Amino acid sequence: MTDGSAHLVGTADETLVQHAQFGDSTKILAKVLARYRFGVDLFAERLPAVAQIASAVERLNDVDARRLFCDPLVRLKLEEAFSDLEGRRLASPHPLEAFLVRALEALPLGLCESHMPSHWPIRSEHPKWLWAVADSDDAHARELHAAFDGIFAKDSKGGGGVLLNPDAASRRKIEEAIALLSTLLPHSGAAALRHIDAIALLQAKIEGGTVLSAAGGDVTPSTVFLSLEELGNPWDIAGCLLHEGLHMKLFDAGRSLALATAPAETIQVPWRPVRWSIVRAVYAYHVYVHLSLFKAAALVAEKSTIEQFGNPADYVSRPHAMSVVNNGSVSRFGRSIDRARYLGEQLLGPWSHLLSAQGKSLVTWLSRALAPVSNDVFGDSTEQA
């Protein structure tokens, strides 16, 4: 690779944080906090306990407001309150009242973090914390565990998931991966990390497959799940943090807009046996564009980075499209770049009528950002095993 390739990667990295709606995490997160601040004012009209603390919440700086609002359980209760308000069901007593009061008392920690039997903060530009809820009798830990079980419950095929408590070694692995991602993609990678507040460790199998990582979504907001033992190396841990952070980022950005005109419409991709919603296709494209850039950044990484984090080629990993170490390149759609190219072509072509104006803007921006890197770094070649 040439210095020109590294320059193209750096330019794309900067481009992917410049879209006002989908790229700029500062603006996206400001909208998230503004929505919740406004929600507190609305809920205070109907919930007495919220009314009593509304002025204290209003005075919070953005750092404390994020600690308050982006706690997994508090955020879950806030979204339930929004839903209840819309459905004209919001009335006292409401779970949000107790959770919001407790969360305000827990500052400067978030509510759930303050209830962990052991604290595992993660060193990062924007602080994160590790779940430590296995075998805990605390009510908040039990509720987090119940939410996890709701996502990773055992199925008829013998799958299911187990939450693991962190230790010093796992914390080091995560901090190393965060440092690697921030080094390789100091703009778009660091932006994705800003949307992760908590990390939980797991071992899980669903539908016969091993879970490498997952985003909590509506059930455990602000949280991503990692299988450190399955991932094994800092490059692939960093890739999964990027992957799940991007889901959280688009989840945050998409709260107030629609990506599709027909969100229930389904499409078929050649690497999955089940049909996807068009919205899932957009989310996947968002991820694969960034993962392709991450792979390109690894290919043009400086010698000092390789010396610090190890050479990706020296690690052993089973092939998967999210991997920087082993992309599964023997199959037609085994690489992130192959999937990004396919989804981009379809979303800009045969599927474009299913997208909203905002969805088309997102896809076009992603496509233009990746194109120079796609042509220069990957060309038309297929990697050999």
Residue-level pLDDT at 354 = 97
Coil, strand or helix at 379: coil
- The full set of domain ranges for the chain reads 1-21+257-385, 25-114, 115-256
Place of tokens 């604290």: 119
pLDDT of residue 384: 36
Residues with Cβ within 8 Å of residue 208, at least 6 apart in sequence: 157, 159
Q: What is the pLDDT of residues 48-102, one digit of tens each?
A: 999 999 999 999 999 999 999 999 999 999 999 999 999 999 999 999 999 999 9
For 150-206, how does the pLDDT look when each residue is reduced to its tens digit (9 = 90+)? 888 765 455 678 899 999 999 999 999 999 999 999 999 999 999 999 999 998 877
Q: Which of the 8 DSSP states describes residue 260?
A: B
The pLDDT tens digits of the residues spanning 209-246 come to 788 899 988 889 999 999 998 888 999 999 999 999 99
Q: What predicted TM-score, i.e. pTM, was given to this entire model?
A: 0.94
List pLDDT tens digits, range 27-54.
999 999 999 999 999 999 999 999 999 9
pLDDT at 381: 54
What integer is the mean pLDDT of 245-269? 93
The per-residue b/e assignment along 116-130, b for 16 or more CB within 10 angstroms, e otherwise, is: beeebebebebbbbb
- For the chain, how are helix, strand and coil distributed in percent, rounded to 5? 55, 10, 35
Check residue 185 and give its pLDDT: 98
